[in-house]
Structure 1
Amino acid sequence: MKLISTYRMFNIVTAIAVTMFFSCNNNLSQVNKIGVSENEPIAEAVDLNFKYIDSGRVKSILISPQMLDYSNRSYPYKEFPKGLDLEVFNEDNKRSNIIADYAIIYDLTNLIDLQGNVKLITADKDTLFAEQLYYDNTKGWLFTNKPVKFRTGLDLIHGNGFDSNSKFTNAEVLEVSGIVTLDE
């Protein structure tokens, strides 16, 4: 009787062990996702004041009340839901400034989407006003197909669309709807 009881116990333990063995898998990505909802950011920064320095020289300063990092997604991005203020310094240490109510940076395409009261002031004091502006960081190219106002010198140019390189040496307002020359 004791031998039969021991034999049954052995079979039960073996069955449980085999079941546990086959139910386990080695999926590290699933383990890493534990506790992180796919709809939630993996990180959040508050009162961001980020200085990018290269070769001992400040290249840019990014200020934002909030940044959400969604690098845990299959198409990773960083979101600035409360806007940003970005200062960029050229080789002569002259400053350009970009302000927007909202921004999103797509990591894989290196594309920046600025939205809401976008204002770009170049080192030469040319100013672009737009509701949306894209910047392709790989190509160094600014563009939009939305209405813009571009002040260069004494001219204020209204149009639907804008194209330029990042140095504004070939800035062009597309579909010009009006040009106003301002008094000094």
Structure 2
Amino acid sequence: MVTQHWWVGVLGLLLLCACENDMQKVAALGRRTQTPEEAHGIDAYMSQGGKMKARLLAPYMLRYQQDTQRIVFPRSLHCDFYDSLLNIESILDARYGVYYENMNKVYLRDHVKIINLVKKDTIYCEDLYWDQNTGWFYTHHYVEVHRATQAYSGTGMRATQDFNNVFLDSASGHLKVQNDQLP
């Protein structure tokens, strides 16, 4: 009986000798790798309370659903914002953008330009954050503000999303001030 099942013992010895795990490979088994969702030729309409608020155009989009859910526009984006009568009120352009879904924050960079068509105001900057929860735009870098009657620039800006209130940390430029507005 011992001679007939010798191969079982040899096979057991081979299995014991062959079992060696690479700890990095074992740890990688538990990790999930997820490729982003990808879309081309984006033409999206955004509404709030049943009313159209904006139209987003982008040639390419990536959506990541990992720890920080985000939508990335790596090849530029253009957004038209509408008033209650569906007239374009303002325009936003940037070469790169990220929307952080869970935080309601937007980060824009590379030739950011915002134009308010009603007030004839334009803001140029290299990067810009938009906190949709608070309704504020901000940047820590160089910014140019062009209003209908004045232009100024500076480093660092905070502004309400309607740009009625714009605060520069360090400003320079030409401001037109009424005599009754001087201290």
Q: Structure 2: which 5+ residue stretches go unaligned?
A: 6-29, 177-183
Structure 2 equivalent of residue 161 of structure 1: 156
Does the 8 Å CA contact 2:119/2:148 hold for their aligned counterparts?
no
- How far apart are 1:179 and its partner, in Å? 2.5
> 4+ residue stretches of structure 1 with deviation over 4 A?
none
1:57 has 2:57 as partner? no
Decide which of 61, 68, 77 is 1:84's aligned counterpart.
77
Aligned-pair CA distance for 1:174: 2.5
Q: Tell me the TM-score normalized by structure 2.
A: 0.73
Could you say which residue in structure 2 is the equivalent of 1:20?
A: none
Match of 2:68 among 61, 70, 75: 75
Cα RMSD for the two superposed structures = 2.4
Structure 1 residue runs of 5 or longer lacking an equivalent are 6-29
1:158 and 1:179 in contact (8 A); partners too:
no
Q: Which amino acid aligns with 2:81?
A: V
Task: Find the aligned partners of 1:175 and 1:91 in 2 and give their Cα distance.
Answer: 35
Number of matched pairs: 150
Structure-to-structure mapping, 1:33-44, within 5 angstroms: 33=32, 37-38=33-34, 40-41=35-36, 43-44=37-38
Tell me the equivalent position of 1:25.
Answer: none
- What TM-score, normalized by structure 1, do the two folds share? 0.72
- State the alpha-carbon separation in 1 of the partners of residues 46 and 138 from structure 2: 24
Counterparts of 1:2-151 in structure 2, within 5 Å, are 33=32, 37-38=33-34, 40-41=35-36, 43-54=37-48, 57-71=51-65, 73-91=66-84, 93-94=86-87, 95-122=89-116, 123-151=118-146
CA-CA distance at 1:54 after TM superposition: 4.1
